[in-house]
Structure 1
């Protein structure tokens, strides 16, 4: 009876094993950069007035398809498959999109892991505002408001209303903006926004809505405020100082990336080529920082930088090379995994000192920071804990500006061994 009971339980365990999750890796194609990009425009004249920005993308190998926002042929998906890798919305005044694209379609596009650049201005429609709000970005509710800065404005021949801002308050992140310092201020004319992480992405699916990061990459100065530039202030501005974000980015748990700008002019040839001098500064620049800023940020948005892949997870007993069917308590084991970063043209070793592995059952029993050989290989060794059960090797890596690495491999040996051990005894 005992033997029959043992074998019935053993085969039950084997059946359970057959439905256990397999090895899962952080998904990353051989070439992670977006190649097919749909560009929607309010006016076809934007193709020429913003041609320098589009040319920088095309020179990096991207294929751009231009359509007017109300084009009835617009479709981002056919037969269940997405036709594009990324979407650029230069459509501030669009009340609706043509074809089959709508608010939910844009959100589903990003929720499926695709990337988005959205540029607004003082004519921003409810549609554009709602897309931004679903991404955790709230534009000023006053439709007549623009960002004004009487201290940090761009010097020009005419006094103006100080809505052309010269901002140099960049996020300090090489992975997002590149390692070359942006010397000249960025010229910005448009509307400000605030970040609302509590409400960000709440209507999107769980893959997108969990662990999304919303960051300011270009901020207004402490003297800035958001108001109607043509009328006197009757009430305190709702957005003031460095709380005003001019350009923000979002990275979701599914590694989709979003850039939201309150200025479409920021991408224009005119501001790309314009000289700049910030009020109160003696420094005059022959060319604004716009082209460098937008180019470097677009590299991040389109995964030319900060994109990781992990794989080749291996484990074995110390002194052996083959992966065993089971481990026993107090065995000494070795673990390794490879992590690489996309350089824009090829995969190169990712080097960091904060990659960890968990030996996990309900909660981590072992947590180890991995050593690296500087060539993409991360490794460690440890003793199997004195606990029976089904364990996993888990690598969950999140670092600002980088795609999330999520990798695991389940071990069934402990579970089988514990059943055999108990019934043999």
Structure 2
């Protein structure tokens, strides 16, 4: 039986379900010598001229150690896998007008690529084909159905030599996340020229990284509006990212020009603002977000999950109710070059059987070690140590380790139980009463 594709989305509820539920790892999938950063990247183009018109972005990837392979989207030799193994770690689709991929590549192959944990960048423009839009839809965003519509903003546009139609947007409404956009603040606005897309607010897997201003709307700039536009204001997302449940990362934008040399190096001044910048924020923006998409930042791993009784060092095969135990795990973050200790105050462990009997926030020594001590609950059965860690921009950690808990044996109970003293007293009182009654009955005339 074929494995069902978990990327299929129930659009009645507008909920994305990319990837299976995370596997519980007793230790990380990665070793100290392995790197989570994508290295082999396939770039699909509509035209090889994009290699020169977008060379600054491509060269920045090469300078960071990426091996880029450029191919036309209709190349008949296209294939993402061979003999059951994927040939690439990531895929960049700079081919918005492609109606059909070449070779063995199609919509299902791209979705399977993401479902297997690989990363994807999709950039389109006004010529976006149904194929590319369908890939984006399966990943959790909806592009405007009007093929002639573009994002227009009569207040937050980039000032240019000519008045224009205000489709050259200057946006500085960034997501507030250092792990996604880096710790260095992007000061200059990002220039955007392209089409709009929307995300569902109830879908917590899709994040708007760059949003349009409240005055923006999506419409055909060459014709008058006959009806109110469907996408307006903050409902318009210019750049969105997805982190799937299998930790695959996706970036989607309606502007292929966002990555172009022309917009990366052009001066920018936002309408209504006195500040003029010699260079737009595009280069810093696309560099930082590509670092996140390709796992150069925000990737966590957990190793050395341990537990033992207080006063001991060996891990037992079974615990007894009311035992005092210690739990520890080491968590590291990939810095792009090496694994560094991850420091946070919101990592928790659950001692779980059907529901958590113990929920404890882990303390950290600042060097990657997280630990906690607690007492085994007065319930016996098969428990799990569970660490489910979800934080914006970081890969999710889902670990578990199973351990049985037994009750006291017959010879392990206390000799005299405090709560049973009334029963002890009743027994001795009954014996004393019987003795007195016997004496009185036998010797009383």
Please, what TM-score do these two structures have when normalized by structure 1?
A: 0.89
Aligned match of 1:209: none
Please list the CA deviations of residues 136-157 of structure 1 after superposition, one character each: whole Å capped at 9, or x if unmatched. Answer: 1000000000000011111011
Is the contact between residue 351 and residue 372 of structure 1 (CA under 8 Å) also seen in structure 2? yes
CA RMSD of aligned residues (A): 1.7
Which of residues 50, 54, 69 is equivalent to 1:50? 54
Is the contact between residue 321 and residue 380 of structure 2 (CA under 8 Å) also seen in structure 1? yes
Please list the CA deviations of residues 203-262 of structure 1 after superposition, one character each: whole Å capped at 9, or x if unmatched. Answer: xxxxxxxxx610000001111100000000000000001110000000011000000010
Aligned residue pairs, count = 388
Matched residues in 1 for 2:128 and 2:396: separation? Answer: 32
Counterpart check, 1:274 vs 2:278: no
In the TM superposition, residue 79 of structure 1 has moved relative to its aligned partner by 0.9
In the TM superposition, residue 27 of structure 1 has moved relative to its aligned partner by 3.1
Aligned match of 2:38: 34
Matched position secondary structure for 2:269: coil
Aligned match of 2:278: 286
Matched residues in 1 for 2:200 and 2:139: separation? Answer: 9
Aligned match of 1:390: 382
Structure-2 change in CA distance of 1:67 and 1:197 (3 Å): farther
Matched position secondary structure for 1:104: helix
Which of residues 72, 75, 91 is equivalent to 1:71? 75
Matched position secondary structure for 2:267: coil
Is the contact between residue 73 and residue 101 of structure 2 (CA under 8 Å) also seen in structure 1? yes
Counterpart check, 1:115 vs 2:107: no
Which of residues 345, 351, 364 is equivalent to 1:353? 345
Aligned match of 2:365: 373
Give the greater-gyration-radius structure (CA).
Answer: 2
Is the contact between residue 40 and residue 88 of structure 1 (CA under 8 Å) also seen in structure 2? yes
Is the contact between residue 24 and residue 399 of structure 2 (CA under 8 Å) also seen in structure 1? no
Which of residues 330, 354, 379 is equivalent to 1:338? 330
Gaps of 5+ in 2: 1-22, 414-445
Aligned match of 1:150: 154
Is the contact between residue 22 and residue 410 of structure 1 (CA under 8 Å) also seen in structure 2? no
Matched residues in 2 for 1:64 and 1:77: separation? Answer: 16
Is the contact between residue 25 and residue 406 of structure 1 (CA under 8 Å) also seen in structure 2? no
Which of residues 242, 249, 259 is equivalent to 2:251? 259
Aligned match of 1:166: 170
In the TM superposition, residue 421 of structure 1 has moved relative to its aligned partner by 4.8
In the TM superposition, residue 197 of structure 1 has moved relative to its aligned partner by 6.2
Matched residues in 1 for 2:26 and 2:103: separation? Answer: 37
Map 1:217-236; keep pairs closer than 5 Å: 217-236=209-228
Gaps of 5+ in 1: 1-20, 201-211
* Larger RCO of the pair (alpha carbons < 8 Å, separation 6+): 1
Aligned match of 1:177: 181
Matched residues in 2 for 1:40 and 1:292: separation? Answer: 23
Matched residues in 2 for 1:330 and 1:279: separation? Answer: 67
Is the contact between residue 314 and residue 337 of structure 1 (CA under 8 Å) also seen in structure 2? yes
Matched residues in 2 for 1:384 and 1:167: separation? Answer: 54
Counterpart check, 1:61 vs 2:61: no
Counterpart check, 1:411 vs 2:415: no
Structure-2 change in CA distance of 1:332 and 1:60 (3 Å): same
Aligned match of 1:319: 311
Matched position secondary structure for 2:277: coil
Aligned match of 1:364: 356
Which of residues 220, 242, 246 is equivalent to 2:238? 246
Matched position secondary structure for 1:390: strand
In the TM superposition, residue 22 of structure 1 has moved relative to its aligned partner by 9.3
Is the contact between residue 23 and residue 410 of structure 1 (CA under 8 Å) also seen in structure 2? no
Map 1:76-87; keep pairs closer than 5 Å: 76-87=80-91
Matched residues in 1 for 2:285 and 2:37: separation? Answer: 19
